[in-house]
Amino acid sequence: MIARHGFHATMTARPGSGDEVVRLLLDAPSLPHPDCVVFLVGRSAADPDTVHVTEGWTSEQAHQAFFTTAPAQALVAALQPLLTGESRYTDEIPVGGKAWGAHR
């Protein structure tokens, strides 16, 4: 499958909540979703409460439809109290590369 829609998000967890944010994201319902072809979670080396997510979807419509589902809404609700401020989003379309070493 080819990713035709994507984004990069940076979230700031409340102090000490970075581990929980990462855990929730690594258990995200989008990971097994067939239209989600890229889902990477990373952290800032300097600040473990800064969490980055890169997603690639088959289409913008598939991504929007996914976020209307109950599991996606539950994830958003679980993340909200762990975050501070507004998350920053940058649109992005993955064009290639690889991810290795994923422990999940």
Q: Torsion angle of alpha carbons 92, 97, 100, 102, nearest 10°?
A: 20
Number of H helices, E strands in the chain: 3, 4
CATH 3.30.420.10 for domain 5-88: no
- Domain ranges for the chain: 5-88
Length of the chain: 104
Answer yes or no: are the C-beta atoms of 102 and 19 closer than 8 Å: no
- In this predicted structure, the answer to whether residue 104 has a pLDDT above a threshold of 70 is no
Q: Can you list the alpha helix ranges (DSSP code H) found in the chain?
A: 18-26, 60-66, 70-79
Give residue-wise pLDDT tens across range 21-76: 999 999 999 888 999 998 999 999 999 999 999 999 999 999 999 999 999 999 99
Tokens of 72: 């996606």
Close Cβ partners of 61 (under 8 Å, ≥ 6 residues apart):
none
